[in-house]
Structures are given as structure tokens and as C-alpha cells.
Chains A and B, each alone.
Chain A
Amino acid sequence: MSTSGTSRMHRSEHRWALLFVAAPVVGYLLFTLYPVCMAFYTSLTNSNGLGIARFVGLDNYVRVLSDGYFLQSLFNTFFYMIGIPIGLALSLALAIGMNRAIPLRSALRTIYYVPVISSLAAIAILWQWAYNGDFGLVNQVLAWFGIEGPNWLADKDFAKPAIIAMAVWKGLGYSMILYLAAIQSVPRSLYEAAELDGANGWQKFRAITLPMVQPVTFFLVVTNVIGGAQIFTEINIMTPQGGPELSTASAVWYIWRQAFKYQQMGYGTAMAIVLGLLILVITLIQFRLNRRNNFVLD
């Protein structure tokens, strides 16, 4: 700080600055740090979410490790993430398509974006109908090709792929818009230079487009993984019992059921903390990998 910081005006401004800084800090302490600490404490108790809890040490964490259903729900959660690369590839392809001068381009862009702004609950209900074994849209379309579709959500082998397909469809528009913006900001000169060197379309895509949109890919992977780890609403609406043999139960769904339905708030919180740590570790790994791949233009 320079000596000019002693003026009255400066001091006054300084106090104001502190006040503005205080608002988010206080908000963070009250709404994030305090609940996190409380959650950690709750995870060490036998709380039922209603009355007084007793301290039980690490009992809940020991139980987490031996709870087959929780491990199953974690497996399901990560299985759903198969949808992430599929969704990214599709949305990148769509973005490249939408970047060309094709007829009805804005209309198409809008259509792809509609699912993004629609209520997830409403979409889940629509898809639940589409997946109905007898009258569902999906099986009707399959029937045109002579394929007899399964009762998607009631079949333990088809329920997860069915939910993945829905999630990909729902997220397509958002990723597409981000990719579209990234593609449009790639300098034309790079392509022109490549063309002079005789690069074909695929080479231009591989060597220019893909690396140039890499920051967007990274952003989408990180946010999709974090969001995917918390998948709940569509699971709870489309398969209220967690699917046949808990085959669709996601980790958050299982945590919710233990905490709120079975009133094992302490145990549920312990699982939530384990899940949170897993997400943190995965995100750190992603940042690590990304740093290695990063490059700066010029």
C-alpha cells in the first residue's frame, strides 16, 4: 500500500470495500462452511434427523464401506457417466453442423436448446411415458423396424442405458451452444494456413478445431462429472423405488432414501461426505490432467 492510503477519502473507500467483501464472506461462512461443519459432525452421530443424536465416532464410515447397496449405487452413478463422452461427441458434431450455413439453422438451434431450459421433472415424466413397455413412443418407433423393445425402466439391464439416453438428450443443447461459441472464435487464419498446406477436412478438425475447443471440453467434462455424480431428480421420478434390484439407484438417491425415508440422517450424511470427497478427488485429477494438456496460442 502506498502512503496515499491515509487520506480520509481512501479510508472511507477502504471501509466500503471491506463491507462489500464481507457480504460474500459472511454468506460463505453461514451458508457453506457452517453447514459443511455441521454435516461432518452429523456424520459422526446416529442422528435420525428429528431428535437428539449420540456421538458414534467413525461407525457410519465403517458401515459405508461394507454397504453393498451404496457401492452398487456408486457403480450406477459412474455408469451413468458413460453418457458424458457420448454427449460431448454428439454435441460437438452438432455444433459443427450448426456452424454451417444450412437452412433453418436458428430454428434447429432452438429445438436442440429447448430441453435444456425445460423443467427436469417434466422431462423425466415425458420420458417415463416414452419408455413405457406397451404404449411408449420408443417401443413404437422400434416396432416399425420389427424390433420388440423391452419394458425399459422395469428391466434391470435396460434401465440404466434408458436413463443415459435421456440425460444425453437433455444436455445436448447446452454443450452444443458452448462448442458453437468456441468454434466460432477459432481464428479463420489458422484454417486458411492449413488449407494452403493442403490439409483436408479431417486434418483441420483434428489439428485445429479439436485443440482450440479443448478448454470448453475440459469445462464440460468437469461440470458434467460433478453434475452427473449428483444425479437424482430423473432417477426419483422415473424409478421411484430405485429400479429393479436397485439397478437405477444413484448415490444421491440412495443417500436421500437412507436419510429422509429411513431417518438415518447420520449414516446418510456420512455417505454424502464420502461422495463429496470422491467428486473432489476426481476433479483434482481432471485439473492435473488438463494442466499437462494445456497450451497457449502464440
Chain B
Amino acid sequence: MRKSRLAAGMVAVFALSSTLAACSAGSSTDDDGKLTFMFRGGEDEKAAYTAAIERFEAETGVDVDIVVTDADQYSTKLQAAIAGNNVPDVFYIEQASLQSYVTSGILLDITDKVEAQGIDLDNIWEYGVDSYRYDGKVQGTPDGQLYGLPKDVGPFAMGYNKTMLEAEGIELPSTDTPYTWDEWLEVLKAVTKDTDGDGEVDQWGTGLNVVWNSQGFAWSNGADWTNADHTEVTVDTPEMAEALQYIADMTNVDKVTPNAEQAATLDTYQRWMAGELAFFPVGPWDVSVYNDLEFDYDLIPFPAGKTGEPATWVGSLGIGVSATTAMPDDATKLAVYLSTDEEAQKTLVDAGIQVPNLKDMAAEWAAEEGAEPANRQEFLDIVETYGRPMPAAVTYGAAWYDEMWTNIQPVIDGEQTAADYLAEVQPRMQTLLDEANAAASAAAEANAAKG
């Protein structure tokens, strides 16, 4: 009796340690005939994808396990899974991580598989699909190999408080011709005032956050963060300085935004929702919340700088397939299904958190009678014509780009000119970009040697 217990104990210890060893040495090529899909998101996304996956299972007979995490834990958990050689078969992939995941051999090249399955990619936004193309040097090029499909595209438009502008007797902005910066500033000045006569301003033109809102101003003024092949940082230019200064001066010189202490995003976001700001940027993910606000709003292009053309960014999240999946064909099928399934798209669009991935569906959605916001077409125009990826979305990591914002506060507070700051920060950003590019080629070489 005692002996057998001892034996059982020994076996247990051995079993435990060998399982652990197996975990660390094993891989995800467990051919259990099941797919694993790992993603993140709120209730709406969970509901939409759970339902979509049930339909996928019914149609194809393939079982799918779902792993869902909170948004802020996703990348950490995914990397832990990768480090443990337990990569999910299908998972969300960020634009900014695509290159490192491809060069490290984590993502499967699905170009041929998608083609072989006869999928019509032309009905998905080019921007969305191309975001996940990479030719080993440039990301976002139509010639690159395909490493994922868009879960969504996130165009960032300018919004205005229609109720407020009407009450102030200001002509509503055109949805076709963007304001010039000067015109816009005049409007901002006109609406900034004390409405209740207590001597304090309580209604402002806008309230921008330089980290999320300056891109459109810079691009539209002819500036950019890097050269075309992302090797040189190019922020130290008069065009970029002018754009940043324009935003900083709104607060410090023109005083058409809440003052510096109140300028953190949370506050201007709150003020916009409280109806205190005339203009505020709007993304598709804001629509469900903004539609419940007490005022009417609509979308317009961002005000245009020197080039006369509006500009803004489009975000995207992708769905990729693991390079080590045991079922590459089924996994690709699932990725395609999640990106293009009309019912899943409809659930997400109805929830007011994204625009449709499919062009025909989007056209119908934009033309909908009595839609709110009325100018939904602006979102589609951004995706289709003038939106761009975030500067760091197409480089190997975002460290160089984040550096731009780390010490920006004195510029926003009016203690340092934008031109001075940019001259100072450009070399630091260049060092980090050089490091990123060196890390990219090192990772690519290491992976090539493995292959």
C-alpha cells in the first residue's frame, strides 16, 4: 500500500516535470483538429465574433476555440503564448507589429491560400488589405506578400457640434471643401465665449490632443515623419513646425481651446460630449457614444494646410494566421471569414463601433436615410482616398515615433517653440529609428538562417 503510494507520488512528480518540459520544448502543431482564435475587444466584438464563429463551425465542420482578452492585456498575452511556442492558429495583429511578426516567422504568408480559395479581395478596402502586405522592406505596398486581413479600418474624421454652430449663427462647414487653417481659426474664435455671463469662458472652438490629432495638420501642410523608405526622420522642417505651432498657439495665443491645465485628452473629450466644444475629431468607435449626446453633430474633413488637401490617419487591426498552424487552409479560411462575414460586420456596424469592411456594404451604410452622423461618407472617403497609416504603423516598432511626444509638453504649454523642439528631438528619433531598422534586418537574417 505504502509502496504504491510512493510510486504514485514519484509518477506524479515525473509526469509534472515532463509535461512542463514538453510545454517548453513543444509547439503549437498539436494536430487536435481544432483551431484557436485569439482576439481582444469589448462586449460587441465578443458577441459578433462568437456568433460568426458558430456559423463558421456549422458551415465548415471545423471546431474553433475562442480565447478573448482585455484590450490592454492582449499584446502581452499573445507574446507570452508565442514565447511558450503556443501560438494561436488565428489572431489579431497590429499594423505596427506586422514587420516583427513576419521577420520572426510567426505569421503565415497567406497570399496563395487566399487566392486559391477564390476570395474577392477587391470588395475589401485596399488600405485595409494592403496594411498587411509586406515585401520584406516596405509594409503597405500592393506588391507585398499578404500576411493578414483587416478586422476593421479606423478612419479619423473631424466632427462639429451642429447644434452649437446653428445657435451661434455660423454657416455650417462644407463637407466637400475643407476649411483653410485661417478660416477655421476665425470660426474657432467666433464660438469661443462666455455663454452664462459669469466672466469665465465656458464654450470653446476645439481642444486638440497633439499626440492623436496633429498628424492630419502636419501631412496636409506638406510635412511627414520620415522619408518614403522609412530610413530618415524628417520632422525638423518648417512645415512640421508650422503645424505643431498652429495647434499649440490655439491654446496659448489664440485661446480658442480650454487652457493648458485642462488640455489632457480626458478633459476635452468630456467637454466635447458636454457640448462645450464646437469641433472635435471623431472615429467610428466614437459613434455609438456620440449618437446618444444631446446635440447633433456631423463629420467634415480636417482643415487643410499649405497643400490645400485635407489629411488624416486611418488605423486598422488585422487578423493573421500562425506560421506554425497544423491546419493552414482552415485557419486562412477562418481569417477570411472573420474579415468578410456580412453578419459579423453588420453586428459591429450596428453597434456603432466600426465602418463596414466590405465596400458594397459600406456604400449602402453611408447612403442610409436619416443616418447619424449624416456625412458617414467622410469616413469612407478617408479610407478610400486621403487617409494615411500612422507614422509608426509601417515601421519596425514605434519607439522612434513615441519619442516625439515624450517631451512635447513645453511646446504645448508655450514655453518652447515647435521649431526649437523639433530640431532637438529629430536626432534622438533618428537614433531610435536606426536601431529599429538594424533590429529589423538582424531579425530577418536570423530567421532566414533558421529557414
Contacts and interface: CB of A to CB of B under 8 A. Distances in A.
Interface string A30-70: 10000000000000001011111110000000000000010
Contact of B20 (A12, A30, A69, A151): A30
Contact of A132 (B266, B399, B450): B266
Interface stretch (A19-27, A173-181, A201-209, A283-291): A19-27
Contact of A133 (B82, B105, B261): B261
B6 A48 contact: no
A260 interface: yes
B104 A12 contact: no
Nearest to A156: B409
Of A12, A151, A242, A258, the most chain B CB neighbours within 10 A belong to: A151
Interface residues of B, number: 43
Contacts of B450: 51-52
Interface in B67-107: 72, 75-76, 79, 82-83, 97, 100-101, 103-106
Contact of A22 (B13, B261, B398): B13
A120 to B, nearest CB: 14
Contacts of B105: 51
Interface residues of A, number: 41
Contact of B409 (A16, A22, A244): A244
B446 A54 contact: yes
Contacts of A261: 75, 398
A133 B409 contact: no
B406 A50 contact: no
Secondary structure dominating the interface of B: helix
Nearest to B14: A26
A24 to B, nearest CB: 11
Interface in B20-34: 20
B13 A260 contact: no
Contacts of B262: 133-134, 151
B79 A49 contact: yes
B10 interface: yes
Contacts of A135: 270
Given A54-B446, A133-B261, A134-B262, A48 B409 contact: no
B103 A51 contact: yes
Interface string B176-211: 000000000000000000000000000000000001
Contacts of A153: 264
B275 to A, nearest CB: 15
A12 B3 CA distance: 8
Of A16, A23, A134, A263, the most chain B CB neighbours within 10 A belong to: A263
Nearest to A31: B20
Interface in A190-237: 236
A156 B407 CA distance: 11
A241 B104 CA distance: 27
Contacts of B439: 46, 48, 263-264
A80 B104 CA distance: 38
B367 to A, nearest CB: 38
Given A19-B10, A260-B75, A261-B398, A26 B17 contact: yes
A295 interface: no
Nearest to B82: A50
29 contacts: A26-B13, A26-B17, A48-B100, A48-B443, A49-B82, A49-B83, A50-B101, A50-B104, A50-B443, A51-B103, A51-B443, A51-B447, A52-B104, A52-B443, A52-B447, A132-B267, A133-B261, A151-B267, A154-B261, A154-B263, A156-B409, A240-B72, A245-B406, A260-B76, A260-B79, A261-B398, A262-B398, A263-B100, A264-B399
Interface of A: 12, 15-16, 19, 22-23, 26, 30, 46, 48-54, 69, 132-135, 150-151, 153-156, 236, 240-242, 244-246, 256, 258, 260-264
Interface of B: 2, 6, 9-10, 13, 16-17, 20, 72, 75-76, 79, 82-83, 97, 100-101, 103-106, 211, 261-264, 266-267, 270, 397-399, 405-407, 409, 439, 442-443, 446-447, 449-450
Given A52-B450, A263-B397, 17 more contacts: A12-B2, A15-B6, A19-B13, A26-B17, A46-B442, A48-B439, A48-B443, A49-B82, A50-B104, A50-B443, A52-B447, A134-B267, A154-B263, A241-B405, A242-B406, A245-B407, A263-B100
